[in-house]
Amino acid sequence: MIRTDLLNQELTTDCVEVLQSYAVRESASRHVDSGEQTDWLERVDDVPGIDSSALSSVHGTLIAEGLLKFEVTGRCQGLQYQLTPLARDILANSDQLLESASAEEPEDSDDSADER
């Protein structure tokens, strides 16, 4: 199995959604900059459906898996991030990945209380 296949099986929906948020920002910055890629992006601090306290853990996972690079830019700007080529490969298959990750994650419901 190649590396992207292994990662596809291990990534959570939250990880994929954060990667997609960076991809959207990257795409938007290309349009603003006349098609040139901006080297670094500000940290994604808000993703709908993901608790903001979980974002640090998600970022750590993405960095550890080699999907995000980071750069410390100073006291004022802090950390900036960049998608890796591996992350772009995974995002190319993200629809399938999101479906499989959603199917594997437990649902947060109170059905067990209703069954009593």
In a domain, 112, yes or no: no
71 backbone dihedrals φ, ψ, rounded to 5°: -140, 135
Residue-wise pLDDT for 62-93, tens only, equals 999 999 999 998 777 788 999 999 999 888 87
The CATH number of residue 70's host domain is 1.10.10
Structural domain containing residue 57: 3-104
Count structural domains, the chain: 1
What is this structure's pTM? 0.72
In a domain, 54, yes or no: yes
Residue-wise pLDDT for 23-43, tens only, equals 999 888 876 655 555 578 999
C-alpha dihedral (36, 39, 45, 50), degrees to nearest 10 = 70
